[in-house]
Chain A
Amino acid sequence: MSNQGPDNSKIVKRLLLTVAGMFAFGFALVPLYNVFCEVTGFNGRTNNEPAAVSQHEVDKSRTVRVQFITRTAQGIPWKFEPEIKEVRVHPGEVRVVNFLASNPTRDDMVAQAIPSIAPAEASLYLNKVECFCFNQQPLAAGNDAEMPMQFYIDPEIPDHITTFTLSYTLYDMTANATPESLALLESTE
C-alpha cells in the first residue's frame, strides 16, 4: 500500500470541515433566500416597514388595477374583508384602502396579516406608507375594526404590469402576542 496523498487524518479533517460548512450553508440559505427575495421580489413579499411618502409626480397617462384578496388561516374564525375589491390607481398616486375585521368569538384575539403579491414582480413597485400588516392586530371578543392600508405605486413600474393582486392571509397570533398587542387589548376593555 502506498500513501499517495496527504495523511488520512488531514483528508478526514478537511472532509469533516466541508460537512460542517455545508450544514451551516443549509441554515445560511435562510437569510440568503430572504435577501434574494427582497432584492428581486421573487416571493411576492411587500415592504414590512413604512415607505417614505410619495415624492413622485403622478403619472396620469397610466392606470394600474390593484385587486385585493383576503383569507383567514386555519384556526382563526374572524371575518376579514377589503372594503373594496379593486381600485384603479395612477402610478405615484397615494390611496387608502380599508380592510374590515371582526372577531365573532368570545375570546380576545391577536392576529397578524401576511401579504403576498402576484405576479411577484409587482411587489418591487408597491410602496406601503401605512399598513395594518406592519403590526399585530388585537381585537377584543365581539369587536370589529377598520384597518387602513395606505399605498402608492412606484412610477417605475414596467408597462407590462397592468394588473396585480395583493392578498392578505390572517394568522392567529394570540399565543405569540407582543406586549404592545396585549396592552392594546386591555385598554379597549
Chain B
Amino acid sequence: MSTVVDDHNHEAHHDHKPSGITRWLFTTNHKDIGSMYLWFSLIMFFVGGAMAMVIRAELFQPGLQLVEPQFFNQMTTVHGLVMIFGAVMPAFTGLANWMVPMMIGAPDMALPRMNNWSFWILPFAFVILLSSLFMEGGGPDFGWTFYAPLSTTYSNDSTALFVFAVHIMGISSIMGAINVIVTIINMRAPGMTYMKMPLFVWTWLITAFLLIAVMPVLAGAVTMVLTDKYFGTSFFDAAGGGDPVMFQHIFWFFGHPEVYIMILPSFGIVSAIIPAFSRKKLFGYSSMVYATASIAILSFLVWAHHMFTTGMPVFAELFFMYCTMLIAVPTGVKVFNWVATMWRGAISFEVPMLFALAFVILFTIGGFSGVMLAMTPVDFQYHDTYFVVAHFHYVLVTGAIFSIMAASYYWLPKWSGHMYDTTLARLHFWSSLISVNVLFFPMHFAGLAGMPRRIPDYAVQFADINQITSIGGFAFGLSQLIFLWLVIKCARGGEKAPAKPWDGAEGLEWTVPSPAPYHTFETPPKVE
C-alpha cells in the first residue's frame, strides 16, 4: 500500500494522468472509476427507460397494438434487470467510489486494481444481456425474478446468456463491496472514528456487507436454474423430486436484502443533504446508524412476505408479516430524524434539497404501501397487481433514483468544478416530481381494482387509468433528457464552483478545491 501512496505523492502536484482511452481503460483512480460508474448507470437508466416507454406505449390502450406479448414480457423483464443491476446499483457504487475516500480522508480506494476490474466487467455483462434481445427466440421473458419453472422448463434458448450476465454483475458487485469494506476499515484518516463517519459512509458499509451476504446466493440461484435447464438436475422440477416453491425461497432470500441494498445508500445521501440545507446538525446521528443496521439485519427475516400466496402455513405467514412490519420502526426512526433535523432549521430550497425533500415524502408513501402489502390477508388481493408495481416504483424511483439525483445535484460542482444551470435543474425537478406522480400514483388504484402486472392487455375498465399513467410515463421519460443535457453542459463548462458551494455543507469533501484534484488527501487530513 505504502509504495502506491509514495508514487502518488510525486504526481500529486501536477495532477499527472495518462491521456486518451487508456486513461479510462487502465485507470485505478477512484474518481475516474466513480465517473465511469456514474456515466454507465446514466446510460443504463436511459436504456431501461426506453424499455419502460415501450411498455407504457403498449399499455396506452387496451388490446394489443405495438408489440407481441412475448416481446412485452422481454421488455418488463429486461427493464427490471437493467434498472436494478445496471442503473441503481452502479450509480451507488459510483457515488461510493467518488465520495467514500474523500469523506473519510483517504487518498483512494484500498484495492485500486480490483476497482478497475469491478467496473470494466460490467459493460460486458450488459452487452451479453441486451444482445440476447436480438437473438432468435428473444431475450429473457420470465420477469426479473426468473421464477422456476418459467426460467427452466418454459424459458427460451437465451437463458444461459441471462445466467452468465447475472453472474458477471454479481462478481462486479461483490468486488465493489469488498473494496468499500476494506477502504472504510483501513483507510480512515486519523481521528475519523467509526461514529464520526458521515452517514453515507456508514450506510454504504452496511450495504456492502449485505452485498457480500446475498449476491453469492443469487449466483447460486441462477446456477441452479442453469443446471436445471441444461444439465438435467431437478432443483426446482417436481418431477425429479425438486420443488418450484423452493426457488422462490432461495430467490427472495437474496431478493429482500437486495431491496435494502438499493435504498440504504439513499438514506446516507439524504442524511448528508438535509442537514446541509437546514443548517443544522443531523438529528440523532447514532440512532441513524443503529436504525440502518437493524434494517439490514431484519432484511434477512422477511423474505417470505413475497410469497404469501404460495400456500404457506398460517404460522409462517404471521411470522413474516410481523417481522416485515417491524421494519417500519427503524425506517420511521429515520424519517422522524430527517424531519427533526429540519425542525427550526434555516431551510433553503436548492435543487439537492428539493430532491431530498421529495425523497422523504414520496419514499414514505412507498413505505406505507409496503406496510399494506405486508399484511397477509390483504396481500392476497394486492399480490401480482399494479398495486405492487406502484409500491416498488415509489421506493425505487422516487426513493433510490431521486436520492441519486439529489446526490448528483449536491456533488456535481465538486466533480466537475462548475456550477450547473439551476434553472434547468429546477425545471428537471418540477417536471420529474409532477410526472412521476402522474405515472405511479394511479397504478395504486389500477392494482386495487384488480389489474394484474406483467400483462400486455387489460380489461377496458382500466383504459382511462392506464392512459393517464402512460402520459405521466412519457413526461417522466422526457424530463430525464433535461438531466442529461444539464450534466453534459455542466461537465463542459460553466460558472466556476467554489470549494464549498453550499454554505451549510459539512464534511471533508468540501475542504478540497472544486473540481476535486486527481489525487486528494495523500497527506491525511486532521479530524478533530
> Which A positions have Cβ atoms within 8 angstroms of B?
1-5, 8, 11-12, 15-16, 18-23, 25-27, 29-30, 33-34, 37, 40, 42-44, 73-74, 112, 114, 118-121, 169, 171-173, 176
Contacts and interface: CB of A to CB of B under 8 A. Distances in A.
A18 B213 contact: yes
B308 to A, nearest CB: 14
Given A1-B524, A3-B186, A114-B238, A26 B1 contact: no
Contact of A33 (B153, B214, B243): B243
Q: Tell me the dominant secondary structure on chain A's binding face.
A: helix
A21 B238 CA distance: 27
A29 B246 CA distance: 9
Interface of B: 1, 5, 106-107, 110-111, 153, 174, 177-178, 181-182, 185-190, 212-221, 224, 232, 235, 238-240, 243, 245-246, 249-250, 253-254, 311-313, 316, 521, 524
A37 to B, nearest CB: 8
Contacts of A26: 216-221, 250, 254
Given A1-B187, A171-B239, A15 B217 contact: no
Contact of A22 (B216, B249, B311): B216
B182 A12 contact: yes
A121 B312 CA distance: 10
Nearest to A22: B216
A22 B221 contact: no
B307 to A, nearest CB: 12
Nearest to B171: A19
Nearest to B245: A43
Contact of B235 (A5, A12, A30): A30
B524 A22 contact: no
Contacts of A34: 243
Given A1-B106, A12-B182, A176-B240, 9 more contacts: A11-B181, A15-B212, A22-B213, A26-B219, A26-B220, A27-B224, A29-B217, A40-B313, A118-B311
A25 B217 contact: yes
A142 to B, nearest CB: 23
A8 B243 contact: no
A120 B246 contact: no
Nearest to B211: A19
